[in-house]
Structure 1
């Protein structure tokens, strides 16, 4: 089973909870294999740029005589750190930006975690908002152009009055 961290946006959830994020607390294979791409997908630009620099440095170290294994192990270590701690770094980054950790849910998959979280939310008061209705005024005089036009198809009479 996987634990899912439920985060809500800084302004609070929208009506349909589309901004509510579920982050699985587990290993990420994409972060292991392509750590800078994974962090770029999650919009953590400085971390992605840092990882690119570290991987280039590891490649340069691997080219030196006698340091080939060390450079390769360093590049793999960067991937493992990203794979194991990447989701935790994303969660901390979002909380630093003002997101709120609402709940931690343990479930088999994401759909079950979403169902468990949204079923425990209180029902919101669904009172419809009243839209102000226009006040229709009838003319005092009888006859003439636009007398008692129920559909309101003529907004102005010929003299430009309303």
Structure 2
């Protein structure tokens, strides 16, 4: 079952909401620059292009071609893993609000669950308050239990404090 982050526009109704699926973006792995342009993520596209050009320039130096190949693969893998989180961050910068997360097997089912959550009067359906803070515990258990920290430590998730 996949998770979908529901982002509501600054103006307009819930019918303009965008559902961003969490997970690996295959097209962002194959061609990240074009994936970012398709989603109108201009700054991210420029950063991806600059990083790719820098790695390509490194590959032209004698003895660095293997390192540049590995670095290019790592960059593509990183962008594919973080592309959807970067999209949510871009929408947040543009004033979109996070409604919540919907778990569903298909996008249509996620849209249906989102609309059902809007019509429901239950507070669990529309989470308006952040989740309670986790109890602080010492050592590695504390590090593993933090829900507000990103997986790779580079980008924060929307709503994380």
TM-score, normalised via structure 2 length:
0.70
Distance 1:66 1:116 in 2: 54
The answer to whether 1:40 aligns with 2:55 is no
- Aligned partner of 1:85 among 79, 82, 98: 82
* SS of the residue 1:7 aligns to: strand
Structural RMSD (CA) = 1.4
* SS of the residue 1:26 aligns to: coil
Distance 2:57 2:23 in 1: 31
Specify the alignment match of 1:13 in structure 2: 13
Deviation at 1:12, TM superposition (A): 4.0
User: C-alpha deviations, 1:17-53, integer Å up to 9, x for none?
Assistant: 1x11000011000000101111111111121112112
Comparing both structures, which one devotes a greater share of its residues to helix? Answer: 2
Distance 1:122 1:108 in 2: 21
Deviation at 1:120, TM superposition (A): 2.6
Specify the alignment match of 1:59 in structure 2: 56
Number of aligned residue pairs: give it: 120
Specify the alignment match of 2:101 in structure 1: 104
Distance 1:107 1:98 in 2: 26
User: C-alpha deviations, 1:53-92, integer Å up to 9, x for none?
Assistant: 2112211211211111111111111111110001001101
Specify the alignment match of 2:112 in structure 1: 115
| Unpaired segments ≥5 residues, structure 1 | 124-162
User: C-alpha deviations, 1:93-114, integer Å up to 9, x for none?
Assistant: 1112110111201111101111
Distance 1:42 1:59 in 2: 24
Distance 1:103 1:46 in 2: 25
Specify the alignment match of 2:46 in structure 1: 49
Distance 2:38 2:75 in 1: 17
* SS of the residue 1:120 aligns to: helix
